[in-house]
Structure 1
Amino acid sequence: MTGDGDAAPTHDAQRMELSKTFKPSWIWAVALGSAVGWGAFVLPTDWMSTAGPLGAILGFGIGGALMLIIAVSYGTLIRTFPVSGGEFAYALSAFGRNHAVLCGWFLTLGYICIVALNASALALLARYVLPDIAEQGRLYEVAGWDVYLGEVLIATLALLIFAYLNIRGTTLSGRLQLVFCVVMLVGVASMLVGVLLHPDGQLGDIQPMFPDDKSAWAAILAIVAIAPWAYVGFDNVPQAAEEFAFSPRKAFRLIVAAITVAAMVYAAMILVTAGATSWTALVAEDPRWGTGDAVSDLFGDVGTTLLAISVSMGICTGLNGFYLAASRLLFAMGRGQMIPSVFARLHPVNRTPYIGIAFVCGVCLVAPWFGREALLWVVDMSAVGVTIAYTYTCLVALRLSVRPDAVLGPDAPQQQLETVRSRTSARTQIVGLLGVLTGLAFLALLLVPASPAALSQESLTALAVWVVLGLVIYLLRRKENAKLSDERLSYLVLGRD
C-alpha cells in the first residue's frame, strides 16, 4: 500500500470495533430491502414509458445478472476483509489512501442521497394516500414542484425515527428490517396473484411489449443502464461485515439471494401495473403515481391499502438499510482519520456509530425543503458514485487474484497468502475482469452524452459541485493525513497488526 507516511506503526490508541450481532437473515433483508426500496412501487410507469413491459422486465433481468458478476468480487473481498468500510477499505488495501478517499467520498454521497430520497418517497406516498395532511401549508415551488409543510414534516419525522432506531442498536434495526421485507414480499405476491385471478385483469394480453418509438434493444439498454441505481443496496452488506455473527463466507450467497429476489420484485410490480390496466393509456395520462392509479382502478380501496403498505415497507427498508451503510462507511473513514475521528466514536451503551447516524440525519433533514425534483437531480448523479465503488471493488478483487501480496501486504502471513492463491483460478480472474468492464460500461452509459441513460445537465452540475467540495476537503486535511503512517492506517481501517 502506498502513502505519505513512513513512521513505524504505533498501536497504542484503542481501535474502536463494532459488536458482532447481525444474523444471516437480517443481512439478507438489508441487501434486499435496500435494493428494492421505493422505486419498484413508484416508477413502473416511467420504466414502461421508456422500454415497455417486456423491455423493462428484460432490462432488469439483464441488469441483475450483471450485478451478480460484480457480486462475485464483493463475496471475495468480504471474506478477505471482514471490516466496516466496504469499498473504502478495499480501495485502501490495494491502491492506497488517495484512491480510498475518492471511493469513500463518492459512496458517501450515494448513500446519503438515497436516505434522503426514501424519506421524500414517504412524503410522496402521503400526498397520494393522505393528501389532506401532506398538502397542508404550501410554502413555495422548486423546479416545478410545490413544497408543502405537511410533506416536509412527514419526511422529517421518518428521518428522525430511523435515526433513533439505528442508534438504539443493530438487534432492533436488524429484526425490523426482516419484518419489513417479509411484509413487503407478501404484499407484492398478493397483488400479482390478484391481477392474475381478477376477471378484469389484462395480464394475458399486455400489448405492445415495447414502445413504438424505439427499437427493442435501445429500450432494454435504457433500463440496463439504471441497474447500478436499481440494485444499489446489495453493497450495503460489506459495510456491516465487521458485525457479522456468522462466517463471512456466507455473505456471497446472501447477496445472490437478495439480487435474485429483487429482480423478481421489479418484474412483479411491472406486471401488476401493466396487468391492472392498459399501460399505454396509463403512460399517456402522465399520472402522479401510475401504479397507484392502476391498482386502485382494479381493486379499489383494498388494492390501494395493500399497495400503500407494500411501498411503505419498501421505503422503511431503504431508510433503515442506508442509514446502516452510510454510518458504517463514515465510521470506517473516521477510524482511518480520513475525516474527523469523531465519526469513529461508538455509543457508550448501544455500541453503534451514533455520530455518523446523527450526521446522515442532519444532512438529510435539509433535503425535504428543496422539493423532490431538485433532489432527483442529486440522486441521479449519485449513481456515478455507486458505480465508481462497484468498479473499485472489482479492480481490487482482480488484483487480489493476480497479486495477493500487493493487496494483503508484504507482511501478510504465508498461510493467508496460500489460502487466497488456492481460491484463485483463471475463472476468478475472468470474472473480476468482467466486473471491471461492467462497471466501466455503466459509467459510460451515465456520462457519455449520446447514451440513452446520460445524466441531465442539472445532475452533471451537481456532480461537479460534489467533486469540487471533495477536493477542497481533501486539500484541507492533506497535511493532517500525511502524519499518519501507512502501517498505522492499515491497522485502523483493516485491523492489520
Structure 2
Amino acid sequence: MSGKNLTRKKLDKTLKPHWVWAIALGSSIGWASFVMPDTWMGQSGPLGVILGLTIGALLMIIIAISYGVLIRNYPVSGGEFAYAFLGLSRLHAYISGWFLTLGYICIVALNATAFSLMLKFIFPNFIEQVKVYEIAGWEVYLTEIIIASVLIGIFTLLNIRGTTISGRLQFIFVAILIAGVLTITIGMTSSAETSFSNLTPVFTPEISALAAILTIVAIAPFAYVGFDNVPQAAEEFKFSSKKALTLIVLAITFAAAIYSLMIVATGVAMPWQQLSEANHAWGTGVVVQEVLGTGGLIVLATALTMGIFTGLNGFLISSSRVLFAMSRGKVLPKAFSNLHSKYNTPYFAIIFAAIVAIIAPWFGREVLGWIVDMSSVGVSIAFFYTTYTAYKLLRWNDQDPKFDPELHIVSPGKKVVTLLGMVASLSFLVLLLYPASPAALGIESLIALLVWVVIGAIFYIGRRKELMKYTREELAYLILGEEKFKLNKDEDK
C-alpha cells in the first residue's frame, strides 16, 4: 500500500449463531406471509403459490452456497458490496451497494407501514384520523405516519445500542412468530368450519400451471430477501464464519415452511377465489377472526407484529452495515462510517437509514410498493455479483494455470453450484424485466427503477474523483481487510 496511513474501522464481534439465524429468518418472513396469502392465491392458486415459493427457496439455497463460500473467506460488513469489489471493480461494488441500500431501507419502511395497516384493520376509527392527502389512490393518514415513525425510531435506538440487544430481541421475536404460525395453522386446519376442499382448484384457471408457478418464483428475491442480511453482519460474528451457510439454509427452509403454512391456514377457511375477489385489506385476518374468533385474531396479530419487528430490525442492521462498508470503502462520505464512542456501532448510518425510511410512508403504501417491487431487480443484481465472484474464487483443480493457493479454492462441485446460482439470478432478472413475462414489473416500478439508476449515476460521478484517489490495493484493505488482492488485477481505472 501507499503511504496514506489508512485506518480501517472495525465493528465488535457480538452476534451469536442463533441470533444470526433469527436475523436471516425474521428478515425473510417479515409481514408478507401474514398479509399476502389471499393476493398470491388470486394470482396463482394455492398450489401455485406453494410450489412457486418452494422452487424459489431451492433457488435461494443454490445462490446461498456462493454466500457461504464468500462469508467463510471474507467475513466483512457490506456483503454484496464487498463481493462485487472482490470479483470485479469499485464501480460494480458501488452499483451493488446502491441498489441494496434502497431495497433494504424501503423494506424497513414497508414493515413499519404494515404495522399501521394491521392496526387500521383492528382499530379503523383510531387509525383513520387526520387525512393528509391521497396519492396513487391511497389515502395517507397522519396517524399511521406517526405510528410508523415512532416504530422506526424505537428500533433505531435499539440498533445504536448494539447488536447484543438487537440480536437477542430478534431471536425472541422469531420464537414468538413461529409459535403463532403453528397455533394458527393447527387451529384453522382442525376447525369444523374449514375444509381442504376450499383449496381447489389448486391453480388459478385463467393461466397455465407453469405461468402460475413462475409468477410466484419471480417474487422469490422479494419473498426471501433477508437471508442475505447474514453477510452484512459477518464482521460481527462471535463464532466461526464456517457456520454461516448452515444458518442461511436453515433460515430459508423455515421461511418456505412458514409461507406454505400460512397459505394453507388462509385457504382452508373459504373458497380461495371468493376470498381473493373480496379484496379485503387483510384477507387472512378476516378469515382467522371468522373461524377462531377474537382470540385467533390476537394470536395472528401477535405473529404479524413479530414478523414486522424482525423485518424492521434485520433490515435496519443490514442497510446501516452496507452504508458503513461503502463509506469505509470511500464510496460514501466519511460520516457513514463514524462509530459511536460508547457502543461502537455505525450510528450515523443507522440514523440516516431510519430518516429515509420515515420519509417513505408520506408517499403512500402504493408508491412504496412500486419502489419495493423495483428493488427486487436490485436484489437479483446483488445475487448475480455474489455468485459470479464465488465462481471466480473457486477452481476446478489445482492444475488450473490461474490457480493461486493463497487466493483460490479447489471445489468443482461448488463451482458448478455457483454457476447455477448465476443462471438463477439472471433468470430472476428476465422474469422481472422481460415485458412478456407473467411477473414483469409494472410501468410505475420501471419508472422508479430508472429514476434510481439516474440518481445513482449522478451521485457516482460526483464521488468518482475522490474514489479514484485510492489504488485497488488500498481499497482492498479498507473493504476486505486485505493488503494485497489479485483476483481482478486488470480493473478498469
TM-score (norm 2): 0.95
Q: Which residue pairs with 1:58 in the alignment?
A: 51
Of the candidates 455, 461, 469, which is equivalent to residue 483 of structure 1? 469
Q: Which amino acid aligns with 1:147?
A: V
Kindly, what percent of the aligned residue pairs are identical? 52
Is the CA contact 2:396–2:415 (under 8 Å) kept in the aligned structure 1?
Answer: no
The residue correspondences of 1:119-134 to structure 2 (distance < 5 A) are 119-134=112-127
The answer to whether the Cα contact below 8 Å between 1:129 and 1:308 also exists between their aligned partners in 2 is no
Instruction: Tell whether 2:479 aligns with 1:493.
Output: yes
1:303 Cα shift?
Answer: 1.2
| 2:5 is the alignment partner of 1:19 | no
Uncovered stretches (5+) of structure 2, i.e. residues with no partner:
484-493
The secondary structure found in structure 1 opposite 2:228 is helix
Q: Calculate the aligned-residue CA RMSD, in Å.
A: 1.5
- Tell me how far apart the structure 1 counterparts of residues 36 and 138 of structure 2 sit (CA, whole Å): 17
Work out the CA distance in 2 between the residues paired with 1:215 and 1:53.
14
Amino acid at match of 1:263: A
Matched, 1:463 2:456: no
Equivalent of 2:348, from 355, 358, 365? 355
* Aligned residue number for residue 177 of structure 2: 184
Displacement after TM superposition at 1:178 (Å) = 0.2
Contact 2:198–2:271 (CA under 8 A) maintained in structure 1: no
Q: 2:137 aligns with which of 141, 144, 162?
A: 144
Q: Give SS of 1:300's match.
A: helix
Map 1:149-164 → 2, pairs under 5 A: 149-164=142-157
Q: Structure 1 residue 386: deviation in Å?
A: 0.5
- Corresponding residue for residue 486 of structure 2: none
- Whether the 8 Å contact between 1:10 and 1:488 is mirrored in structure 2 is no
CA drift at 1:343: 0.7
Letter in 2 for 1:442: F
Match of 2:214 in 1: 221
Q: How far 1:304 sits from its partner (Å)? A: 1.0
- Residues 415-465 of structure 1, C-alpha deviation per residue, up to 9 Å, x if partnerless? 634xx434x12x222111100010000000000110111111111111111
Report how many aligned residue pairs link the two structures.
Answer: 480
Alpha-carbon deviation of 1:203?
A: 2.8
The CA deviation string for residues 345-378 of structure 1, in whole angstroms up to 9 with x for no partner, is 1111011111110000111111111110111111
Cα offsets for 1:88-135 (capped at 9, x unmatched): 101111111111111111111111111111111111111111222211
d(CA) in 2 for partners of 1:11, 1:481? 14
Query: 3-state SS of the aligned residue for 2:139?
Result: strand
Aligned to 2:252: 259
8 Å contact kept, 1:32–1:258: yes
1:300 is aligned to 2:289: no
Contact 2:198 2:272 in 1 (8 A): no
Deviates more, 1:197-206 or 1:260-269: 197-206
Q: Is the 8 A contact 2:198 2:267 kept in 1?
A: no
Q: Deviations over 1:2-38 (max 9, x none)?
A: xxxxxx4336242110000000000000000000000
323, 331, 334: which is aligned to 1:341? Answer: 334
Q: Check whether the contact 2:198–2:270 (CA below 8 A) recurs between aligned residues.
A: no
SS at match of 1:85: coil
Instruction: Give a deviation string over 1:200-228, Cα, whole Å, max 9, x none.
Output: 12135521111111111111110011001
Are the equivalent residues in 2 in contact too, given 1:58–1:220 (CA < 8 A)? yes
Runs of 4+ in 1 over 6 A off after TM superposition: none
1:393 corresponds to which residue? 386
Q: Matched residues in 1 for 2:320 and 2:396: separation?
A: 31
Cα distance change on mapping 1:205 and 1:293 into 2, 3 Å? closer
Distance in 1 (CA, whole Å) between partners of 2:281 and 2:140 is 15
Aligned to 1:5: none
Q: Which amino acid aligns with 2:158?
A: L
The 5 Å alignment of 1:275-290 reads 275-290=268-283
Deviations 1:254-287, CA, capped at 9 Å, x for gaps: 0000000000000000001001222121112111
Match of 1:135 in 2: 128
Following TM superposition, by how much is the alpha carbon of 1:395 offset from its aligned partner in structure 2, in angstroms? 0.3
Distance 1:416 1:240 in 2: 25
Matches within 5 A, 1:400-419: 400-402=393-395, 416-417=406-407
- Cα distance in 1, alignment partners of residues 334 and 36 from structure 2: 39
The one-letter amino acid paired with 2:22 is A
For 1:468 and 1:206, the matched residues in 2 are separated by 45
Picking from 297, 315, 321, the partner of 2:314 is 321
Secondary structure at the residue paired with 1:177? helix
SS in 2 for 1:25: helix
* 1:300 Cα offset (Å): 1.2
SS of 1:416 mapped into structure 2: coil
1:16-61 C-alpha deviation (Å, 9 max, x unpaired) = 1000000000000000000000000000001000111111101100
CA distance in 2 between partners of 1:477 and 1:368 (Å): 29
Scaled by the length of structure 1, the TM-score of the pair is: 0.94
Q: Does structure 2 retain, via aligned residues, the 8 Å contact 1:75–1:251?
A: yes
> What is the CA–CA distance in structure 1 between the aligned matches of 2:184 and 2:79, rounded to whole Å?
36
Amino acid of the structure 1 residue aligned with 2:347: Y
Matched, 1:445 2:438: no
Candidates 411, 427, 431, aligned match of 2:417:
431
Report SS of the residue matched to 1:98: helix
Q: Secondary structure at the match of 1:84?
A: coil
Secondary structure in 1 aligned to 2:140? strand
Name the amino acid aligned to 1:477. Answer: R
Please point out which of 65, 72, 76 is paired with 1:79: 72
Q: Partner amino acid for 1:446?
A: L
Q: Which position in structure 1 is the counterpart of 2:231? A: 238
Structure 1 residue matching 2:341: 3-state secondary structure: coil
